[in-house]
Structure 1
Amino acid sequence: MELTTPTPTVKGPEKNFTGDVYVNPIKKPAEPSRLIASIVRFTPGARTNWHSHALGQTLYCTDGAGLVVNRDGTVIRLTPGDTVWTPPGEEHWHGAGIDCMMSHIAMLEGTDTGDGATWLEPVTDEQYKQANQNS
């Protein structure tokens, strides 16, 4: 058994996020586990860039309301208690609603070369607006 003390909150890097996003790592991979978990807090309008995960990602909403959107235009509205799974390789983005914050726990398996995330282009304001209208 091992107690892990909280790590400082860090601001999500501008190269991967639009708006203000704050991350608290919960779990880093430690053999034999490859689990990576973080609490991610999005301010209103904040969101990730388009991205995918080599081994998929699970998002568990803890507070507020937000969206998860994939390339085919499917929009899932997240509220507290909701869980969304994005399968390996599925390009998607997630973030807060227009007028509210959203927090989720992001869980994924790391790979031999890191977290397995492939970061892509930013979500445009028009894509964000359209997803919010469709949710």
Structure 2
Amino acid sequence: MSSRPEARTTMEILPKSPTTKGSADWFTGDVYYDVIVFGEEPSRMRVNKVRFTPCARTAWHRHAVGQTLHVTEGVGLIQARGGEIIEIRPGDTIYTPPQQWHWHGATPHDFMAHLAMWDGISPGSTIPETEWGAHVTDEEYGK
């Protein structure tokens, strides 16, 4: 007998989850997100809409299976550890490979929103889906 949940067999409209304020453990400044998709087996797709106020940003973090961001509005910044800070704008799609430390957020003078898309880890895996590191310092952000 399989322990997998029954696969959905019909189209359905999923209820909207409430907007959540990002944790101060993971973000600097005011960040809000809506979970759009939290895939149920066999899908492991995750999609969040994330909105950053000016100067708000993630802490350094990495994803076990990588992450794709798609900017929907505003102007933002992104940086891979050891790389340059890159300005991102609506329509830009950015891929960060598995285990690459990076951060992203809004510029000092603009709001920024993006869709964050990543795969969850395989059932039974012992590695974290997302690993969070230190906060991006004002010095790192202002370079």
> What band does the TM-score fall into relative to the shorter chain?
over 0.9
1:85 aligned onto 2:95:
yes
Question: Is the contact made by 1:36 and 1:115 (CA closer than 8 Å) also made in structure 2?
Answer: no
What's the TM-score, normalizing by structure 1?
A: 0.92
- Structure 1 CA distance for aligned equivalents of residues 64 and 50 of structure 2: 20
Write out per-residue CA displacement over residues 15-48 of structure 1, whole angstroms, 9 at most, x where no aligned residue.
Answer: 0000000000000021111000000000000000
Specify the alignment match of 1:37 in structure 2: 47
Matched length? 130
Stretches (4+) displaced over 4 A:
none
Larger radius of gyration: 2
- Encode CA deviations 1:79-124: one digit per residue, 9 max, x unaligned: 0000000000000000000011000000000013597100000000
Q: Using the alignment, how far apart are the partners of 1:115 and 1:100 within structure 2?
A: 32
Give the AA of the match of 1:124: T
Unaligned runs of 5+ in 2: 1-10
Question: Paired residue for 1:8?
Answer: 18
Distance in 2 of aligned mates of 1:115 and 1:46: 24
> Distance between the aligned counterparts of 1:82 and 1:2, measured in 2?
30
Structure 1, unmatched stretches of 5+, are 131-135
Measure the CA separation in 2 of the matches of 1:24 and 1:108: 14
- Could you tell me how far apart the structure 2 residues matched to 1:78 and 1:6 are? 27
CA contact (8 A) 1:66 1:102 kept: yes
Match of 2:60 in 1: 50
- Asked if structure 2 preserves the Cα contact closer than 8 Å seen for 1:18 and 1:48, the reply is yes
Deviations 1:31-71 (A, max 9, x none): 11100000000000000000000000000000000011011
Could you tell me the percent identity over the aligned residues?
A: 48
- Structure 1 counterpart of 2:133: 120
Match of 2:3 in 1: none
